[in-house]
Chain A
Amino acid sequence: MISRRALELATAVLTGGFGVAVVVQSLDNGIGWSSAGVDAGTFPLLTGTIIVLGSLYNLVRGVLPVASLANVPIAITQIELRRLAGLFVPAAIFVAAIPLAGMYVASALYVFAVLAIPRHQSVPRALVMAAATALALYVVFERMFQVSLPHGALAAALGF
């Protein structure tokens, strides 16, 4: 269970962290005025500072009980969290597998795993759908639009 407050907090910390990174990096590019006009780091410094200040405000706003939205205490329930993970974790594994297995094999495995393992579809149907997905990708991208999708280290090792 994740409370609305925790979620606000986490997001504000995330945006604020990005802001700090932008500020720190922009200092490398030089800020202020030079012979060539406004230095390259000035604008990012400005936006970074705005992000940090805005995030601080949102942080305080999200944590203080005066905000009426804090009356909606639970943002994500246990069941919702499980559903989120059910979508995101396989997707992340799929993306992580692309460099090794290649886009075609990885997406076929992904479709098969997502459909067959939680028994949403029967194994043969999931197999067909997985194969169809990979084939459709190949036909549309490699053939019709001549865009080469990554074939993966495995395929390279096998000599494709």
Chain B
Amino acid sequence: MDNLGELLHGFSIAVTVPHLVLMVVGVLLGILVGVLPGLGAPNGVSLLLPLTFGMQPVSAIILLSSMYWGALFGGSVTSILFNIPGEPSSVATTFDGYPMARDGRPTTALATAFGSAAFGALVGVILITFLASWVAQVALAFGPAEYFAVYFLAFASFVGMGGAAPIKTVVALAIGFSIAAIGIDTVSGSVRLTMGVDELVKGVSFVVAVMGLFGIGELLVAVEEEFHARAVSSKIDWREVFRAVGRLPRHSVALLRSAAIGCWMGITPGGPTAASFMSYGIARRFSRRGRYFGTGEVEGIISPETADHAAGTSALLPMLSLGIPGSATAAVMMGGLMIWGLNPGPMLFVDQKDFVWGLIASMYVGNIVAVALVLLTVPVFAALMRIPFVVIAPLIVIICVVGAYSVSNSYLDVVMMLGFGIVGYLFKKLFYPLAPLVLAIVIGDKAEDAFRQSMLMSKGSLGIFFANKLVTCLIVAGVALLLLPLVLQLARLWRKPAAPATETTAQEKVII
């Protein structure tokens, strides 16, 4: 029960007036970026990043993680009230959330969504509380070969379980790795991949990529279709809130199943978006009322919301204990950790106990703050959506430009950000996944270093990746995940030899 003692200590750090204020600020900013189309959790967190450099790391991470919770909640508000998902991970919430709100039960839909989201987040935090330090302890014994194997497994699970077309995921990952390699090589000191541009010696910051890919890219996708912000009433009936939350235990099977899916997809970096789609799909198949899904079913809201938040929260587990972020936003936060001078990974649990347990305790408190604030501010943020998109769009462009510039006061970054915007638009349009791209930019260097260090140890023999049971298991599991899509495809062909091969993935089917 060491963990509980540490957790109590963590609460003594998290529950102080300055930190509670930071949580409120973070959650409100998070809801704001969650509500606005074009701005999401990854951009929001990268925008705030430069402002945290002067803070204590624990205060900074509390601010950023609170923003993450806020953004997760904010995305659901617009999904339910406007049928416009503010975040990619809340697309699945629109399927049943909006019909229910349209039928005159917006409070029920919102309360159900927030209640199940809070449950999902709670399961994720409990998992982190009990599992993170244990994983970190195991990982303390890791050498470079084991690390490379874990990275490999993480990337392979994107390909195997991310939900997008496998080869598109592979291309996105490899592009991320190549971008990470731009600049000075940390091992040999030589300059790589600058394409003749001297300024690229400093490398390409992940913040620049995130601003373009998620900011400008999403804005371009959003501008395509005209916005019909025809809101259903955004008034909150408080008695109905408690009644809706009181009805949640009746759906405990759906809650638990979705939380399990979410935690699994969060730890193995499938990410919240894939988790919510998967959970919705499974719920539709297994629920007795499955054929009513899409018309405002309660379980159709519970399933994606619980999985979304469980995945978003548990994505921080591998980030803290292994140094591998489980989602795009976690990747940005990990970039922040490195900028603050912390080394994400198992040593955090030894050297930075205050930081780790302060953060974990703040996740309990932060989610409660987020639920309360989001319910209180629904009318305010719903009113925000009535501002015409043509007014918001240029402001978001300016925010992204300034955000990209302020990373290292470089104009080149701004131009690159705009380029990333086009790439982001094309990738979104054609269902290339963006999260693996960002992840690879953030941890590409570490993965490469791990590989080269293991090669040095083994004098160039790949045998080091099969030297002991642990590393062999990890590599084999990674290869299995890589081959999973291929096996599924072959199995489908085996069963129905005449059926045409389909490239449509679960997410695309739902969207089309």
A residues neighboring B (CB under 8 Å): 7-8, 10-11, 14-15, 18-19, 21-22, 25-26, 29, 33, 36-41, 43-44, 47-48, 50-51, 54-55, 57-58, 61-62, 66-69, 72, 75-76, 80, 83-84, 86-88, 90-92, 94-95, 98-99, 103, 107, 110-111, 114-115, 118, 120-121, 129, 133, 137, 141, 145, 147-150
Contact = CB atoms under 8 A, between A and B. Distances in A.
A30 to B, nearest CB: 8
Given A40-B190, A50-B174, A84-B220, A149 B405 contact: yes
A95 B427 contact: no
23 contacts: A19-B174, A19-B178, A25-B193, A36-B187, A37-B187, A38-B455, A48-B178, A54-B167, A68-B502, A69-B504, A84-B223, A88-B422, A95-B414, A95-B415, A99-B411, A103-B401, A110-B394, A110-B397, A114-B394, A137-B402, A145-B50, A147-B50, A147-B406
Q: Which label, helix, strand, loop or mixed, suits the secondary structure of the B interface?
A: helix
A72 B411 CA distance: 39
Given A40-B190, A54-B171, A47 B452 contact: no
A58 B409 contact: no
Residue in A43, A54, A67 with the greatest tally of chain B CB atoms within 10 Å: A43
Interface stretch (B76-84, B118-126, B385-393, B473-481): B385-393
Contacts of A107: 398, 401
Contact of A37 (B178, B401, B430, B455): B455
Contacts of B508: 69
Given A43-B177, A88-B422, 14 more contacts: A7-B426, A7-B429, A7-B430, A11-B430, A18-B175, A43-B451, A47-B174, A84-B425, A98-B411, A98-B414, A114-B390, A129-B391, A137-B398, A141-B406
A149 B402 contact: yes
A41 B192 CA distance: 8
A22 B193 contact: yes
B198 interface: no
Contacts of A33: 460
A107 B174 CA distance: 35
A145 to B, nearest CB: 6
A68 B504 contact: yes
Contacts, number: 179
A107 B192 CA distance: 35
Give 10 nearest A-B pairs by CB, closest first.
A54-B171, A50-B174, A47-B177, A37-B456, A47-B174, A40-B185, A40-B188, A80-B224, A51-B174, A38-B452
A2 to B, nearest CB: 10
A122 to B, nearest CB: 13
A68 B192 contact: no
A88 B220 CA distance: 8
A29 B460 CA distance: 18
B512 A72 contact: yes
Given A18-B175, A110-B398, A120-B388, A91 B430 contact: no
Contact of B181 (A47, A99, A147): A47
Interface size bracket, B side? 35 or more
B188 A44 contact: no
Contacts of B423: 14
Interface in B116-174: 167-168, 170-171, 174
A14 B426 contact: yes
A44 B50 contact: no
Interface of B: 50-51, 167-168, 170-171, 174-175, 177-178, 181, 185, 187-188, 190, 192-195, 216, 219-220, 223-226, 388, 390-391, 393-395, 397-398, 401-402, 405-406, 409, 411, 414-415, 418, 421-423, 425-427, 429-430, 432, 448, 451-452, 455-456, 460, 500-504, 508, 512
Contacts of B177: 43-44, 47
Given A58-B168, A137-B402, A69 B190 contact: no
A26 B177 CA distance: 13
Contacts of A11: 426-427, 430, 432
Contact of B192 (A29, A58, A118): A29
A51 B177 CA distance: 10
A120 B390 contact: yes
B190 A95 contact: no
Contacts of A129: 391
A94 B224 contact: no
A80 B430 CA distance: 16
A58 B167 contact: yes
B174 A54 contact: yes
Contacts of A43: 177, 181, 448, 451-452
A91 B216 contact: yes
Contacts of A83: 223-224, 226
A142 B93 CA distance: 40
A44 B405 contact: no
